[in-house]
Amino acid sequence: MKFDWVGSFNNGFARVGLSSKYNFIDAQGKLLLNQWFDFVGSFNNGFATVKLNNQYNFIDKKGNMLLNQWFDAVYGFDNGFAVVKLNDKWNYIDSKGNILSNQWFDGAWNFNADFARVRSNDKRNFIDTKGNIISNQWFDGAWNFNNGFAVVKLNDKWNFIDTKGNILSNCWFDDAWNFNDGFARVRLNDKYNFIDAQGKLLLNQWFDFVGSFNDGFATVKLNNQWNYIDKKGNILSNQWFDDAWSFRDGFTRVRLNDKWYNIDKNGDLKGL
């Protein structure tokens, strides 16, 4: 059979087009499906999206339709679930075609680290792989979970929740960033600090800027001068610098009075 269009092989099958309809062909040249569709997507995590009469479904590699229910829109399987839309609401299905949640949402995003963001009435929350909403509080904004915590926004302030939905800090911040190497950066009143996984601020001193931890140290800026802190909040050097780079492999570079130096984790300087 000659086709009007042929795609590349992916996961054992290639997409083919004929007379504005689409199917799959295997490595032996056999068509996978008796039905030709208005669109077929590539196989991903064992399933491919198919479209017919402006409705969407999934097929497996044997050509079986996953569900009797067709949807208004779908996003392919990722981390065990696909996002589906029906009657202007969103939900999830698993690889057996089971609907994850009894609640349908105004918006839904792919799963990431066993949790997915959902939106209802312009508020955000998270759903787990069992279909549970993890927090009683709905938020104005939310980022994906990263290193056990998600950044959330409420009333123009930012905080963190853990995977059980607990708020991390009693203090709400003007801005907050994802956890990295055990700490997250936070900003309040145009000053910066770090918060740990117990919700404690690392530093008594707030700085004009702090960088992320790298190789055990983070850059800090105060009064247009730079230094470093370790994970106990100790300042590395008695000398403050005009510029400072991040640590890598035990060393970094600093600038002082238009001269550049190497500095080690003991705070010792060596001219370049």
- Predicted confidence band of residue 61 (pLDDT cuts 50, 70, 90): very high
- Predicted confidence band of residue 267 (pLDDT cuts 50, 70, 90): very high
pLDDT tops 90 at residue 272 = no
Specify the pLDDT at position 1: 86
pLDDT tops 80 at residue 268 = yes
Specify the pLDDT at position 220: 98
pLDDT tops 80 at residue 121 = yes
Query: Could you tell me the two tokens for 138?
Result: 């709905």
- Predicted confidence band of residue 139 (pLDDT cuts 50, 70, 90): very high
- As a whole number, mean pLDDT of residues 52-80 equals 96
State pTM to two decimals.
Answer: 0.91
Specify the pLDDT at position 113: 82
d(CA 124, CA 140): 6
d(CA 33, CA 48): 12
pLDDT tops 90 at residue 50 = yes
**By the 8 A CB rule, do 24 and 35 touch?**
no
Calculate the CA 68 to chain-centre distance: 32
What does the pLDDT look like over 206-222, one tens digit per residue?
999 999 999 999 999 99
**By the 8 A CB rule, do 85 and 102 touch?**
no
- As a whole number, mean pLDDT of residues 129-144 equals 97
Specify the pLDDT at position 217: 98
- Predicted confidence band of residue 271 (pLDDT cuts 50, 70, 90): confident
